[in-house]
Amino acid sequence: MSVHSNWVTVASLLIGLSVTALLTSNCTEVEGPLPLRTEKSRVSQERDDVTERGRMVEIRAPKGNATLTLNATCVAGTPDSRTVIEPDSNGAAVLWEPGDQIKVQYLKDDKLYYGVFVTHQGGSSSAVFTTEDDILGGSDYMFLAPGYTTYSERASYSGARVFGINIPTAQTAVEGGVMADSNIGFAQSASFSDGMSLTFSNLPSILRFRLSGSLAGLVKSIALRTTTGIAGVQSIFSDGGVPTYYPAWISGTEIFTSLNLSGDFEAGKEYHIVLWPYDLPYFEMEFSDGEGNYTTLRSTKKISLHQSEIVDLGTIDLGDTWRYSGDISMDPVKYLSATEGSKPVTIAVLPDGFKKSEIPLFESLAKEALDYIFDTEPYKTYKNRFNAWILKVASNESGGGVTNGSGTIVTPVDNYFGSRWGSPNYTDFVSDYTKIINFTGSNCPDVINGIHTSKEVTSLVIVNDTRYGGKAKMYQDGSGCAVSPWIRGGGLLWWSLGSVLPNNNTASSGYHTITADEYAQYKKFPGDWRSVALHEFSHAFGRLTDEYWNYTSAPKTAKITELTTWQNYAVPHGLNVSTSYTKTPWDELLNRRDELIQRDARYSRIGKFQGGQYYLFKFWRSEMVSCMLDHRQYFNAWSRYLIAKRIMTLSGDGGEFNFNYWMLHDDPTDPLRDNLGTRSGDLDRSDRYQYIYPAEPEYFFPPDAPAEVGDDTPGYQYVKVD
């Protein structure tokens, strides 16, 4: 074991970074943007291999140094002790116990059927499972072991299969193992025959650790808290290939960013936590004795978790004295420092609804948001012109206030900037924007030192709340701020174009329901709360307005005049949308479109597309899709031009910015449509962003603020694919 500086601790913590496989399956792992259905040929071959292994149900791993063992006997009164993990250089095997179940779902006559297999054998990696259900004559069999799932269904949109799997938020510590039924295995077969064999792959990941120090034996509870959804119900999506995680928002369920492992702990023993296999950019572990004493250790570096793998944290030394989370610094943190430009472009990230003990969590979220923004063009190209400050202020209570959706507060929360909103329309999202701007002006070092005035510093406020929402406020003088909650605790979200498109782009000539081909052409975007933060920040900083539509009616003259007013501000807002088809703000791009296409064929996406500023008709945008429409990590060419121009102006170099300068520095890549497979090319996240077409995902349109003129937003709606 070795000491690593990537943890900030108040007690010493030893971390070994060795990674071992946990029941890694024979299924092919899909990297990048391949639709899962393209892997059918490989999986079919693997199924043939599996069926030749004999009559017994068997779980084997072809590699790895871990064994998951279901012991043949249990210690009386401790049913969870049957699940054991041991080192094994020969691979991984499972010893079945009498009563173990496997649940099967399959198709027959184009309908879903279910069955349950049970074994009466134990003490071996092979066992005979039997069922009283008639499961013969079907197709596309899918198996789960242990036989537990919250729900399963056939996806009406694609015909694919979806399972709801739960990882418990309350887990029992088992020496050398994991709590029964917390670690789910998955297998599938095109057909079923009596006596066939199966190979399972585990769906979760596992953290392994040991405790040392005289306090280790006093620990009764370990709370793991992260910025990523690690427990609760996720959907497992499969279409004949490797199962992947699908961001379904299942009614009555929730994804959780924390879980608790409780039990009697001993020094030197191995313990494990089962969790969903996502990256953990930040996490903390709180060790407590149940009598008010605790020690909190915090990570400052990302750990990547992968399906069917164990990540070993090594030995955690708790010492002999309980230590709390320690003194938390409230000093500003400079996360980015400009190295180009006559002066830095300054932005700030602020918290709302974070108590002092939660400020380290906020700081991690702020870094995640900034990393995401500056992995998106054109911010990425001009990143070296920015100073980014993380400013800190504690709230008395956690979270955002709750309203009835019409402005009446039903659950007040004593947070610092007064962020609150309600449902179902989220049109009354309110923060104290003046207080936000004044706080930035009083606490941002670049304002204090005279580099910028407060109106030149854009603020992004992250609210410690997991509900959907977001808003931005912009003023004539260029000042502005964006507010975004930590939606769904970091869980995945999907956005899409909308349910209808105009029949043509020149006149209000009717509309049609969007087709599957149109969806496939532009693709549905899988993102998370950072996507909303990027969208809202680009309202406030980039001075961009919305390009989506909620209304199929034509806008009133006042709405058209309103946008024209914004575009005539001293610092214009909304130039990415046009009120005229014949004369647009991006005419220069259209006039030089052929030149741009010669440079890169993807500039052919530039044109005039009806729909924007909440209305399907009489507003035009410059490309079919962009971040201001569906939150994807891509801005259309004209929006990239506007953002780049603002960056150059604020950095004191606006005089050298022109069309040719922009063209030489521009990158037209849309990671989604150009099949890069991941956002920002972050390869270790590629397994999260496969481009699949699951059933009836929920699509979101963000509630955003018009510039300065009030809060009469058009609202929020769900659009589902029929």
State the DSSP code for 3.
B
**What is the token pair recorded at 657?**
């910015």
**Domain holding 554: CATH number?**
3.40.390.10
Q: For position 722, what pLDDT does the model report?
A: 23
How far apart are the C-alpha atoms of 536 and 577, rounded to whole Å? 16
Q: Which whole number is the average pLDDT over 22-28?
A: 24
Q: What is the pLDDT of residue 148?
A: 60
Top pLDDT among 558 and 143 is at 558
Residue-level pLDDT at 405:
86
More confident residue, 56 or 535: 535
pLDDT range class, residue 325, cuts 50, 70, 90? low
Residue 326 in any domain: the answer is: no
Is residue 278 in some structural domain? yes
Residue 140: pLDDT band by 50, 70, 90 thresholds?
A: confident
Residue located via tokens 């699949």: 692
Between CA 3 and CA 14 the distance in angstroms is: 5
Largest distance between two CA atoms of the chain: 81
Which residue in this structure is represented by tokens 């996360």?
335
Helices 529-540 and 359-373: angle between axes, nearest 10 degrees: 70
The residue whose two tokens read 């729909």 is: 611
Tell whether 419 and 351 lie within a shared domain: yes
Question: Please, which pLDDT band fits residue 252 given cuts at 50, 70 and 90?
Answer: low
- Tell me, yes or no, whether 303 and 410 share the same domain: no
Q: Is residue 327 part of a domain?
A: no
Same domain flag for 668 and 533: yes
d(CA 157, CA 237): 13
389 and 301 within one domain = no
Find residue 285's DSSP bridge partners: 224, 297
On the question of pLDDT at 37 being above 60, the answer is: no
Whether residue 204 is contained in a domain is answered as: yes
**Residue 479, phi then psi, degrees to nearest 5:** -75, 155
Same domain assignment for residues 557 and 706: yes
- Shared domain for 446 and 419, answered yes or no, is yes
Whether residue 217 sits in one domain with residue 337: no
Which two three-digit tokens encode residue 242? 């490797």
Query: What's the pLDDT band for 606 if we cut at 50, 70, 90?
Result: very high
Number of structural domains, the chain? Answer: 2
- Which of 290, 317, 344 is the last residue before a domain boundary? 317
Q: Which residue has the higher pLDDT, 130 or 524?
A: 130
The two tokens of residue 310 are 């164990």
The CA-atom distances, in angstroms, between 566 and each of 8, 389, 474, 478, 654 are: 47, 28, 10, 11, 21
Mean pLDDT of 502-506: 90
Q: How far, in Å, are 24, 67, 80, 175, 226 from residue 83 at the CA level? A: 17, 10, 7, 9, 26
328 lies in some domain = no
Same domain, 32 and 120: yes
Report whether 635 contacts 623 (CB < 8 A).
no
Inform me whether the pLDDT recorded for 614 exceeds 70: yes
CB 206 within 8 A of CB 308: no
Same domain, 313 and 358: no
Task: Indicate the pTM of the whole model.
Answer: 0.75
Q: In this structure, are 352 and 281 located in the same domain?
A: no
Residue 324 forms part of a structural domain:
no
Range of the domain at 401: 333-719
Q: How far apart are CA 222 and CA 273, in angstroms?
A: 10
Query: Are both 142 and 42 inside the same structural domain?
Result: yes
Q: Are 664 and 381 in contact (CB under 8 A)?
A: no
Same domain, 516 and 642: yes
Q: Give per-residue pLDDT as tens, 279-312.
A: 888 888 999 998 888 888 887 677 888 877 788 8
Q: Which of 271, 286, 317 represents a domain boundary (last residue)?
A: 317
Q: How confident is the model at residue 384 (pLDDT cuts 50, 70, 90)?
A: very high
Final residue before a domain boundary, out of 317, 352, 381: 317
**Does 76 fall in a domain?**
yes
Determine, yes or no, domain membership for 322. Answer: no
